[in-house]
Amino acid sequence: MMTAARETLQSWLHRPLFLAILAATLSTLLLLAGSLFVVKQQIELRESEQMNAQGGRFVQRLEQLFGQLRESLDDLQNQPLRGCDDDMIATLRQVSFNYRFVYEAVYIDSNGSCSNRPRQSGLSVARPPDVRDATYSYWLDTTTEPNENRAALMLGRGNFRVATSRGHLTDVVDLPAGGSLLVVLDHGRRAIPVLGAEQLWPPTEPWQAKNKPALQVTKTRLIYRMPTDTPEYQLVLIAPRDGFHVPASAWWILPISLVLGLGIGFQVFLLARHRQSLDAELNGALRRGELQVLYQPIFDLRSRNCVGAEALLRWRRPDGTLTSPDLFIPMAEDTGQIRQITDFVLHRLFDQLGQLLRANPQLYISVNLGACDVMVPRIGEVIARLLARHRVSAHQIAFEVTERGLIDVLVARENLQALRDVGHQVLIDDFGTGYCSLAYLQTLPVDCLKIDKAFIDALGHDAASSGVAPHIIRMAHDLQLKVIAEGIEHESQASYLSSEGVTFGQGWLFAHALSAVQLIELITRGRRRLGRRLEDEA
């Protein structure tokens, strides 16, 4: 059941139209989600900035208001009049005239009280103050009537009281819709609304009561705490959050995300079609004989004698163009065609070089194995039949595997050991470019490490990778492994590597990739180097 489902899924994943639709849908959703996230962040940032700016204005205006109320009380306290008479009432009226935010001024003693607004007085002088400090007393929310001419905030000192009206507070404080201005008392346990609706306090939503930032954003509210000089109370401005609404200017996100998603889907469709056509073309290339095997000679760096070669695959199209192995080999590994290609290389190798190998028992040819051949014992059966048919020794065929091909080290170790047990050499190709750790390398059945050309090119330069090759050489010597340096192009590189104990090398300094005929000529004539560098053949 699982196998059938897996095969069905694989068949769908090889359909270009399905892949294009899937890519377009996922990319559109991701682009849309990412864009909406950015818009949401910008909205929240702007919301916070507006609240911070508004809170800053509140602090400035409220300090101005409280400052006037305190100054008016100080003036009244310092003047000599005491008692409710015409002079006192005139003084109270003069104070309300001199200070813009003083709506009502009152004198109170044991005999009674008098006010500059005797007919409109909204002050409650009976209840104790809500807040008291060393000099002043504060009465908050002295009236709940909506009349703007009724007092809402009162300060007292000695026998005098001054109050500002709800209208004055509304002028000073530009309260947001649905917001409230609270005075928080009792160390944050109780809150009295001075303006706006009564709010549940403390908030039930998660928030940090003692957090240093003035503004805190919860899921539904913005809470701005204003600094005060009096520790007995704290001014808090609360405004509801409207929720996440995409502004009209941001609706361009949807069409742009859709267009980009369709564009990505179309590109995926083209790539899938190309890959599919490349897959079909590769099958045809095998039938039509367009694939060729060339051989990169491997030399002893001291004697400069050819000791072997690496089998390389080339795909030359009928129009003469070359398709890079970096393009079709990974695709062949994904589709499983790499098995057919490996078998082709092995058969071609024995057909072309079988006689040469029998005549030169010290010579060997290395063949690259894909990950799928490393993970199953199939290749051992194939090579055993070919060795018996062509009467070639197992030690003359080596197998190269890359670090990236060692998907499951335990399984790979078992299959590689089986190849070594019958006499084949095992080489790690392009060592240093994958993820094979030293711990794994010590347990793998390996005979030789091949240093990637990139690290050879870095020798003698200040590049960060210039020290990789010497490190690999030392590590290989510690593990008693042979080393082959790839991509040697200069005599200075060959001399340095030889002085470091590297025995073998390959590269254009010695020879380009050769055809079978050219390799046979090189071996049979026993030349240390070709008189001229031979180019790849068609």
Note the pLDDT tens digit of each residue in 112-137.
888 888 765 555 556 788 778 888 88
- Output the CA torsion sign for 418, 420, 425, 428: positive
Nearest Cα neighbor of 421 from 400, 388, 394 is 394
> Within its chain, how far is the Cα of 65 from the centroid?
51
Q: What is the spatial distance between Cα 171 and Cα 180, in angstroms, rounded to a whole number?
A: 14
- What's the one-letter identity of residue 291? L
Q: CA–CA separation, 150 vs 341, rounded Å?
A: 95
pLDDT in tens, 15-66: 555 656 666 677 776 776 777 677 777 766 776 677 677 667 777 777 788 8
Question: Is residue 468 over pLDDT 70?
Answer: yes
Domain ranges across the chain: 2-240, 290-525
List, for residues 476-492, the tens digit of each pLDDT value: 888 888 999 999 999 99
Give pLDDT tens digits for 195-245: 766 777 777 665 555 555 667 777 777 777 776 666 666 777 777 776 555
Are 318 and 285 contacting, i.e. CB atoms less than 8 angstroms apart?
no
pLDDT at 429 over 60: yes
Split at pLDDT 50, 70, 90, the class of 358 is very high
pLDDT tens-digit map of 77-92: 999 998 899 899 999 9
- Residue 15 or residue 424, greater confidence: 424
In whole angstroms, how far apart are CA 111 and each of 82, 90, 108, 114, 125?
A: 11, 19, 8, 10, 14
pLDDT reported for residue 483 = 92
- Give how far Cα 446 sits from Cα of 286, 328, 424, 498, Å: 31, 27, 10, 21
- Asked if pLDDT for residue 150 goes beyond 60, the answer is no
Q: How far is CA 207 from the centre of its chain?
A: 29
Predicted confidence at residue 135, as pLDDT, reads 87
CATH number of 290-525: 3.20.20.450
The pLDDT, as a whole number, for residue 356 is 93
Residue in the structure block whose two tokens are 């007292």: 156
Residue 285, pLDDT > 70, answer no
The pLDDT value recorded for residue 533 is: 44
Residue 431: its H or E element: strand 425-431
Residue 451 Cα to chain centre, angstroms: 32
Q: Do the Cβ atoms of 153 and 170 come closer than 8 Å?
A: no
| Those residues with Cβ within 8 angstroms of residue 1's Cβ, 6 or more apart along the chain or in another chain | none
Q: How far apart are CA 387 and CA 113, in angstroms?
A: 122
Whats the size of the chain, residue-wise?
Answer: 538
Confidence band for 529, pLDDT divided at 50, 70 and 90: very low
pLDDT at 470: 85
Q: Which helix (H) or strand (E) holds 400?
A: strand 397-402
Percent of the chain with pLDDT over 90: 26
Measure the CA angle with vertex 104, ends 98 and 106; round to 5°.
105
Query: Which pair of tokens denotes residue 372?
Result: 């799928």
Q: Find residue 106's DSSP bridge partners.
A: 115, 161
